[in-house]
Structure 1
Amino acid sequence: MLKQIPVAELQLGMFVHKFEGGWFDHPFWKAKFLIEDADRLAAIKASRVRSVVIDTEKGRDLAPSGATPTEPFAPPSPPAAARIRSIRQRTAVQLTATTPVSMAQELETAGAIAEKARERLNRAFIAARLGKALDVRKVEPVVSDILASVRRNPQAFSGLMRCKLKNEAVFRHALSVSALMVALADRLKLPAQDIHNCGLAGLLLDIGVNYLPQASDPPGGDYRNLEARVWQSHVLLGHRALRNDGDLPQLVLDACLFHHERMDGRGFPQACQGEEIPLVARMAAICDTFDFHLTGSDRTQALDPAAAIAAMRADEGAFDAEILRAFIETVGFYPVGSFVALSSKKLAMVIDEDRKDPMRPVVQAFYSFETGERIRPYRIALAHGNDNERITGIADLTGLDLPDHAQLRELVFLSAYRNHAEA
């Protein structure tokens, strides 16, 4: 039987079925667990949660009125009390560390988050590759960091992932999709817990590649270059691994299983259509495909971010139209990292969004089409500058004496913010 009680009445031996309030109100990843020690009970009471739902079939019920509990609550030990203070402080930081900041201000933090996240994912993926049970708790803190970064600046983390070369493909993809999922969920105004779970789903969408047969490892490590039958098996392998974890939200399991399905039934593994595909999987399909377009494979050419958006809009019937529209509003019609042609015959790259005018982002001009030469880079806030300067379209870099697209993107992006910081 489920019963809502004030948190002050919570006791050892009770089974927490649900916290009332947002995910940021309590310090626990799992929302369902048995309270077996005084430290955990004290931590719940130290949080901002005011009430919980308990399951009396899985744990203790409230004692009858006037009765004395058989296991009275004992005050936490001094070390536990210190941890409780730490929980309070950490929760306060989570609540206040999402004040909006500029792209330049967030980039250093985003870089540190990405590096820490890469290390955590690396350990988890290696363990999976060795046949060990998946411990999602070891990668879950990554979601909190990414969510806070996206809340401070929606473009910095995913923009950095797009424009940084030294990111192993699997890790970069996981981090990028996680950040895109969080930003999209935020745009769709999903509940706080669902936003968090969307970020976790993004990290784990392709966990199944770590369970592919060792003999199927492709040259260069890009599993998408495998035979289609082998590559597609990663979906069911990943879903089984996550399901065996035993305590993951259904939302995460659905994203893993259905993110390669398409609205018109062209996807796999079940060829689902329309509303048969869970909402989170429709979101994941868009975020995953967008990032896939940016990197390409042996069979497909890597696309400019703006070209990736155009390709997805042109793929009629594949994606949920309303969610795709929200996604474009999230990343911008010209996402960070897009090469664009300007009306002044200059080549530029998008380095930041303009939240009030998405069609006129901030760009860094660095090449003249008229002279065929590089120019001294300069920044243009198109929404606040000369009205005659505008984007005329996605730039074609074919035949230009410039580094390859990925290297050029990193050079322009990092130099833009290095120069901006020094200015």
Structure 2
Amino acid sequence: MIKKIPTRELRIGMYVQEFCGSWMDHPFWRARFKIRTPAELQRIVSGGVSELWIDTAKGLDVETPAEATVDRAAVDAEIERQLEHAATMPAPLGLFDTQDEDPFEAAAALVRRSVPQIARMFNEARMGQAVDLGASAQMVDEISSSVADNPGALISVVRLKNHDEYTYMHSMAVGALMVALGRQMGLSPNLLKRAAMAGLLHDLGKAKVPLAILNKPGKLTDAEFALVKQHPVLGHGMLQGIAGAGPVVLDVCLHHHEKFDGSGYPHGLAGEKISMLAKMGAVCDVYDAITSVRPYNKGWDPGEALRRMAQWRGHFDPDVFQAFVRTVGIYPVGSLLRLHSGLLAVVVQQNPAQPMAPKVKVFYSPRARKRIEPYELDLASAFVEDKVLGCESPEDWGFTDLDRLWGAPAP
């Protein structure tokens, strides 16, 4: 039986069916789960959600008076113990790097080192040679370290792609996004490495697709698109039997174009028939593709991309997509925002502790209808009264240089 209850009546053993209000108001990346520990119970109670729906067929019901003899002092003590333990655990996402080196420049340097290695793997595949994954192990470690130090830097830098290296930088971007999303979802260190490798190799099958088609600036013909759609199967075939390409890499390569509603390819899998890692790959692949800056395609603003993806019902697993939004942030670096003051600003740094209050660079006054001298504003500061009113579309304003404003390194 599905029933709505106040949060104060929650107890361990209940099955949460749905949170009332926005999913961003609760601290869990999943919307449905059974409460198994005092720590989980405490996170909901202290998370600001006043009501939620439970399924009594999958978990406990509201306690009766006869059941209300539980030793509350013992439960409270256990909650405190769990909270103290949780306080010593690392956060799922890395905090922003405090080192002197500029994080965006460091990320750009990593991209410059890695792209030739990725290109070499694709060229080996293109020539029918066995792909050597040995060099990619260090690359995976460096990507993981970069994401841990500053999740926004590498993810933002790899959005900027040139014509000739798009496929290779896209592979790196998906690898970085897989690591960031995996950290948010609590994947083990070993599984994070496999997720990163899967991201790097998910499009390896495109090595068998003619470059003229891959780099075509206009819309593909039906025949060309049919050829491109073969790349998951082609890549899977190339990776089979290669040392270092385990089940996770093979699965993501083959199924990253499957959709939650079964309308994807190559096998039309749906729902739970798609693995969790392949669902992650699907979200990461689409996000980078639609936000990528290319010579003939500006790409969507990161915030606009998330809004569009949220409207594509059935494409993505809802829980994975919600976790992804938490990963890249409500306002990713590069997003165009309107502030309560009326001024326009671009996000230059996220704030994991206060996602709604990023650091921004103010640069335009709609009232004066002109640009102003850019200045940075930390919306989380107690001395700053301005705050975010909403997102804006750069295309609507004719802005083409937001990447320069947020500090994108020169190619």
1:87 corresponds to:
none
Change (3 A) 1:252 1:338: same
Kindly state the Cα deviation for residue 130 of structure 1 after the two structures are TM-superposed: 2.2
Structure 1 196/225 Cα, relative in aligned 2: closer, same or farther at 3 Å? farther
Change (3 A) 1:155 1:167: farther
- Confirm whether residue 411 of structure 1 aligns to residue 404 of structure 2: yes
2:97 corresponds, among 90, 98, 101, to 101
The one-letter amino acid paired with 1:257 is L
Whole-angstrom distance in 1 between the partners of 2:161 and 2:403: 5
Contact 1:260–1:267, Cα closer than 8 Å, also in 2: yes
Q: Which has the higher helix share?
A: 1
Partner of 1:132: 129
Superposition deviation, residue 131 in structure 1 = 2.4
Match of 1:318 in 2: 315
Amino acid of the structure 1 residue aligned with 2:97: V
Among 190, 193, 205, the alignment partner of 1:193 is 190
Q: How far apart, CA to CA, are the structure 1 residues paired with 2:104 and 2:394?
A: 27
Shift of 1:206: 0.6
Q: Is the CA contact 2:159–2:293 (under 8 Å) kept in the aligned structure 1?
A: no
Instruction: Find the partner of 1:184 among 174, 181, 186.
Output: 181
Tell me, yes or no, if the aligned pair for 2:348 and 2:407 is still in contact at 8 Å.
no
CA contact (8 A) 1:175 1:203 kept: yes
Deviations 1:367-417 (A, max 9, x none): 111122211111111121556412222213346464x3xxx13211227x9
Give a deviation string over 1:334-392, Cα, whole Å, max 9, x none: 11111112222222111111111111211111111112221111111112155641222
With 290-299 and 366-375 compared, the bigger mean Cα shift is at 290-299
Give the aligned partner of residue 272 of structure 1.
Answer: 269
3-state DSSP of counterpart to 1:370: coil
- Give the one of 359, 362, 365 matched to 1:365: 362
The answer as to whether partners of 1:163 and 1:337 remain within 8 angstroms in 2 is no
Unaligned runs of 5+ in 1: 1-97, 419-423
Larger Rg: 1
Partner of 2:288: 291
1:348 is paired with a residue whose SS is: strand
1:410 maps to a residue whose letter is D
RMSD of aligned residue pairs (Cα, Å) = 3.0
1:169 maps to which residue? 166
Distance in 2 (alpha carbons) for counterparts of 1:214 and 1:396: 32
Q: State how far apart, in whole Å, the 1-side matches of 2:241 and 2:295 are.
A: 33
Match in the other structure for 1:37: none
Partner SS for 2:158? helix
Q: Residue 159 of structure 2 aligns to which amino acid in structure 1?
A: R
The aligned runs of 1:86-235 (5 Å cut-off) are 101-102=97-98, 105-162=102-159, 168-213=165-210, 216=213, 218-220=215-217, 227-235=224-232
Conserved? CA contact 1:128–1:134, under 8 Å: yes
Say whether the 8 Å CA contact 1:124–1:138 is kept in structure 2: no
- 8 Å CA contact 2:152–2:328 kept in 1: the answer is yes
Distance in structure 2 (CA, Å) of the matches to 1:295 and 1:222: 17
Written as runs of structure 1 = structure 2, the 5 A alignment for 1:374-413 is 374-385=371-382, 388-398=385-395, 400=397, 402=399, 404=400, 408-413=401-406
Distance 2:222 2:292 in 1: 12
Distance across 2 between alignment mates of 1:225 and 1:137: 37
* 1:169 CA drift (Å): 1.2
Between the aligned partners of 1:154 and 1:224, the Cα distance in structure 2 is 37
Deviations 1:204-250 (A, max 9, x none): 11111101256755435998997321110111001111114254210
Whether the 8 Å CA contact 2:117–2:135 is kept in 1: the answer is yes
User: Who is 1:259 aligned against?
Assistant: 256
User: Per-residue CA shift, 1:104-141, capped at 9, x if unaligned?
Assistant: 64223222211110121122222222222211223232
Asked if 2 retains the 8 angstrom alpha-carbon contact of 1:225 and 1:298, the reply is no
One-letter amino acid of the structure 1 residue matched with residue 274 of structure 2: I
CA distance in 1, matches of 2:202, 2:184: 20
TM-score by length of structure 1 reads 0.68
SS of 1:265's equivalent in the other structure is coil
Query: Is 1:281–2:278 an aligned residue pair?
Result: yes
Change (3 A) 1:102 1:172: farther
Shift of 1:254: 0.6
Secondary structure of the equivalent of 1:219? coil
Counterpart position of 1:340 = 337
